[in-house]
Amino acid sequence: MATDSYTVKPQTDSEQRRQLALLYRLLHARLPVLFNLPGHVERAFRRSICVLANEFLRSSIYGLIILYLLVVSPVMLFSDDVDKGLWFWWAVFPIGVVLAGLWLFTQVEHKAQYVEQVLAVAVWVCLSGTLYGALRLGDSFLGYVAGFESVYIVIIAFSVLRIRLVMALMACLAALVMALALVAVTSVIMDWVSINLFFTAPLLVGLVNGYIQESTGRHDFLLSSYQRCQTALLREVMLAGDRGEDEQQCLASALLAIGENMRWCGVAVVSPGRDPAWEMEAGWLRQDVPGDDDQPEFWHFAAVHRLASAACQRREMVAGPLPPAAPGAGYCLAVPIAINDGEQSVLLCWSEEDQFQDPEFLDFMAQVSDHIGRFLDRIRQKMQLQYMALHDSLTGLYNRSAFIERLSDAMARHRRDPALQICVLFMDLDRFKWVNDNLGHQAGDCLLQTFSERLKANFREDDIIARLGGDEFALVLEGLPIADVMTLVERIRATYDTPITMGDVQVHVVASVGIAFVSRDHRDADAVLGEADTAMYAAKHERAGECRVYDDNLSSRVLPMPGRHR
């Protein structure tokens, strides 16, 4: 069931839309781009790194302390090296102080954002001492112990502590500078072999490992952020209906939530129609895309309609390029929408780039279409309930309550403009009871349906026609003088000449008509309808197929009607 289009044009793109588009671009960029993220994305990644580092520190501090004691205790207990004191002060004591400080740091409340700096300082202090100790002690046993401590610290800095690559590298280079400065101050002979063995080689290994680990972490961070934005978008789609005042605004709000958060030129829900082949129900159009408030210019291209038809027939997503002449969009994606009542709709998405090949994106669009389908199904059900509440189920005409409501609206217009003439026609089929009793209720229903179709064919589209119940019909005609009203009545009488065929029986049906004109003295719609009803019964009493106009003085008076009477 297609409805009039309702398009929303936001004044500016939302922050969420820019965020989702940026994350999508970064996810599909080359690897070096991961290490050059925009400022706000980099800050978000840094916060996530600090959270991970903080969790690692809290869960691993006791393990690090135990490992430290297992390495230091045997040497301190069983080694009788003359340089044990020097080794202790430079390669043992700084690490112990750092571990004690880190333990105290985990015992107090602190902000996770400072963990990365604290760990970098810890690496700098520990590595400075062990490097200087390895250079100072030279080729001795304790010198090699201090050197391997340096290797261990470098590996931990790049792979275990969960800090960023640049922070670990800065801490290690700062430690090297400090160690070399201490060597220069204490006049120790520079041993470049030890530096390359205990620092340069593990640093290169750590850089490779850290690069792989951080690039994977950055990609996972972007992917999780993109998925969170998609989840938020789906939630926005599900909640969009609560903000709309009517069905069309509900659907437009859902499409606005989708369109604003994706890198699209436009998005629309379309349903099968007669002319054109597809009719737009609702849509969103980016502000800079050519088009009016109803439809973008690229909607009129036949390629769009072919994609919609293909998606509906195959029941799968179909994407394709648009002609070069299509302004503002180069590609279109058609996503079928399954609705519980069996009706098919299609979600169309227009983009400047071909971004419709990513499997993750297509899975996301399948979820979006499912939500839109459930949303459309609720709208269809609500519209069907509203239609049933206002229309007669047999004839499709307005029912009595809807007729009274619309007559009241017409009377309000008459009060604002007394020159606007409004009349009410009350009609009753004179042979309906005979048909019902002799031919059966099915024949009676056929009679009512045929008579209703003839009424609709002889009146204007904006005239209000209702079945009040049984064989009673009522009409509201606005802006017609009495002469035109009588012409319409005579046109209806002319249809009596054509019998209604029901099986093997042909029935000539006539209707008695009562007419009442709205005046400022009428209290409500029921008063006007009652006068038309009174005129109709006076006409029926006079002769079948007669027409009377209600008159205040005489209650009703007969108007001369041309034609034959039955």
Cα–Cα dist 252/245, whole Å: 11
For residues 2 and 135, the model is more confident at 135
Helix axis angle for 359-390 and 247-260, nearest 10°, is 170
Task: State the sign of the Cα–Cα–Cα–Cα dihedral 125, 131, 134, 137.
Answer: negative
Q: Which residues make Cβ contacts (< 8 Å) with residue 267, sequence separation at least 6?
A: 255, 258, 259, 283, 284, 347, 348, 349, 350
Cα–Cα dist 74/153, whole Å: 19
Q: Which residues make Cβ contacts (< 8 Å) with residue 513, sequence separation at least 6?
A: 425, 426, 427, 489, 492, 536, 539, 546, 547, 548
Beta strand 511-517 with 547-551 is: parallel
Neighbours of 173 (CB within 10 A): 14
Provide mean pLDDT across the span 539-552.
Answer: 83
Mind listing the pLDDT tens digit for each residue in 248-266? Answer: 666 777 777 677 666 677 7
CA atoms within 13 A on the CB side of 476: 27
Q: Which string of DSSP letters, residue by residue, matches 211-275? A: HHHHHHHHHHHHHHHHHHHHHHHHHHHHHGGGG-SSHHHHHHHHHHHHHHTTT-SEEEEEEE-SS
For residue 9, what pLDDT is reported? Answer: 34
Cα–Cα dist 225/207, whole Å: 26
Beta strand 472-478 with 464-469 is: antiparallel
Q: What does the block give as tokens for 168? A: 């670990």
Q: Which of 34-38, 111-115, 497-501 has the lowest mean pLDDT?
A: 34-38
Host H or E run for residue 474? strand 472-478
- CA 31 → CA 26, 117, 218, 353, 360, distances in Å? 9, 26, 10, 21, 19
Provide mean pLDDT across the span 540-562.
Answer: 67
- The amino acid at 440: G
Provide mean pLDDT across the span 344-364.
Answer: 74
Among candidate residues 172, 147, 175, 154, the one with its CA nearest the CA of residue 91? 147
Cα–Cα dist 312/300, whole Å: 18
Cα–Cα dist 462/100, whole Å: 87
35 pLDDT tier (thresholds 50, 70, 90): low
Neighbours of 489 (CB within 10 A): 20
Quote the DSSP letter at residue 31. Answer: G
Q: Which of 19-28, 54-63, 124-133, 199-208 has the lowest mean pLDDT?
A: 19-28
Sheet holding 318-321, edge to edge: 7-8, 278-285, 266-272, 344-351, 331-338, 318-321
97 pLDDT tier (thresholds 50, 70, 90): very high
Among candidate residues 270, 274, 363, the one with its CA nearest the CA of residue 316? 363
Provide mean pLDDT across the span 332-346.
Answer: 77
Neighbours of 190 (CB within 10 A): 10
For residue 557, what pLDDT is reported? Answer: 47
Mind listing the pLDDT tens digit for each residue in 177-197? Answer: 999 999 888 888 878 888 888
Cα–Cα dist 258/165, whole Å: 37
Q: Which of 21-35, 318-332, 409-423 has the lowest mean pLDDT?
A: 21-35
Q: Is the pLDDT of residue 11 over 50?
A: no
Question: Would the pTM count as exceeding 0.85?
Answer: no
Among candidate residues 326, 331, 284, the one with its CA nearest the CA of residue 307? 331
| Summary mean pLDDT of the chain | 78
For residues 282 and 8, the model is more confident at 282
Distance linking the first and last C-alpha atoms of the chain? 43
For residue 34, what pLDDT is reported? Answer: 56
Mind listing the pLDDT tens digit for each residue in 476-531? Answer: 999 888 888 888 888 887 877 678 877 777 888 888 899 999 988 888 899 999 89
Neighbours of 347 (CB within 10 A): 24
For residue 327, what pLDDT is reported? Answer: 56
Q: Which of 34-38, 76-80, 513-517, 531-535 has the lowest mean pLDDT?
A: 34-38
Q: Is the pLDDT of residue 287 over 70?
A: no
Cα–Cα dist 74/84, whole Å: 12
Provide mean pLDDT across the span 200-216.
Answer: 87
For residue 329, what pLDDT is reported? Answer: 65
Buried/exposed 315-335: b ≥16 CB within 10 Å, e otherwise: eebbbeebeeebebbbbbbbb
- CA 83 → CA 69, 124, 137, 489, distances in Å? 19, 23, 7, 123
Helix axis angle for 93-107 and 115-137, nearest 10°, is 170
Mind listing the pLDDT tens digit for each residue in 150-162? Answer: 999 999 888 888 7
For residue 122, what pLDDT is reported? Answer: 93
Provide mean pLDDT across the span 133-144.
Answer: 87
For residues 114 and 472, the model is more confident at 472
For residue 565, what pLDDT is reported? Answer: 37
